[in-house]
């Protein structure tokens, strides 16, 4: 067996706590200023809004906004409900609260 391969197999696996993994995942989702702007916009609303509403406040193409929404939705920072051919988006306040708690523990 190749000595370098053997060394790789013998390395000790580092255990990363699940809270650290979750915090890193959420930070990655928030790693673009546009996604933070989207969350700030949704925070000001009392109800869900359509992708088009978000496109109207940003100087970006609809496809670009949709990609940012997908990242936020995959991270569960926002939720989406299908309404016919459209999706209504709203802030997941529970997940945002969890994120704030994880940051406070640093």
CATH code of 28's domain: 1.10.10.10
* pTM (whole model) above 0.75: yes
Is residue 91 in some structural domain?
Answer: yes
Q: What is the pLDDT of residue 6?
A: 52
Q: What is the pLDDT of residues 33-59, one digit of tens each?
A: 999 999 999 999 988 899 999 999 999
Is residue 1 in some structural domain?
Answer: no
Q: What is the pLDDT of residue 54?
A: 94
Q: Give 81's contacts (C-beta < 8 A, 6+ positions apart).
A: 48, 87, 88, 90
Cite the DSSP H helix spans in 1-105: 3-10, 18-29, 33-43, 51-57, 62-74, 93-104
Q: What is the C-alpha separation between 56 and 37, in angstroms, rounded?
A: 13
Q: What is the pLDDT of residue 46?
A: 84
Is residue 97 in some structural domain?
Answer: yes
Tokens at residue 96, please? 């945002």
Given the DSSP bridges, would you call strands 49-50 and 78-83 parallel, antiparallel or unpaired?
unpaired
Given the structure tokens 């391969």, which residue do they identify? 5
How many domains are there within the chain? 1
Question: What range defines the domain where residue 56 resides?
Answer: 19-104
Q: What is the pLDDT of residues 66-81, one digit of tens each?
A: 999 999 999 999 999 8
Q: What is the pLDDT of residues 5-43, one digit of tens each?
A: 555 555 545 555 688 899 999 999 999 999 999 999 999
Is residue 14 in some structural domain?
Answer: no
User: Which among 32, 33, 57, 31 is positioned nearest to 44, based on CA atoms?
Assistant: 57
């Amino acid at each position: 067996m190749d000595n370098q391969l053997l060394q790789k197999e013998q390395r000790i696996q580092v255990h990363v706590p699940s809270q650290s993994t979750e915090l890193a995942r959420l930070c990655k989702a928030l790693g673009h200023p546009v996604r933070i702007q989207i969350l700030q916009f949704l925070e000001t609303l009392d109800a869900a809004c359509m992708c088009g509403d978000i496109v109207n406040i940003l100087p970006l193409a609809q496809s670009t906004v949709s990609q940012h929404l997908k990242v936020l939705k995959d991270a569960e920072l926002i939720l989406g409900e299908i309404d016919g051919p459209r999706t209504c988006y709203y802030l997941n306040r529970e997940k945002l609260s969890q994120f704030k708690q994880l940051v406070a523990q640093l």
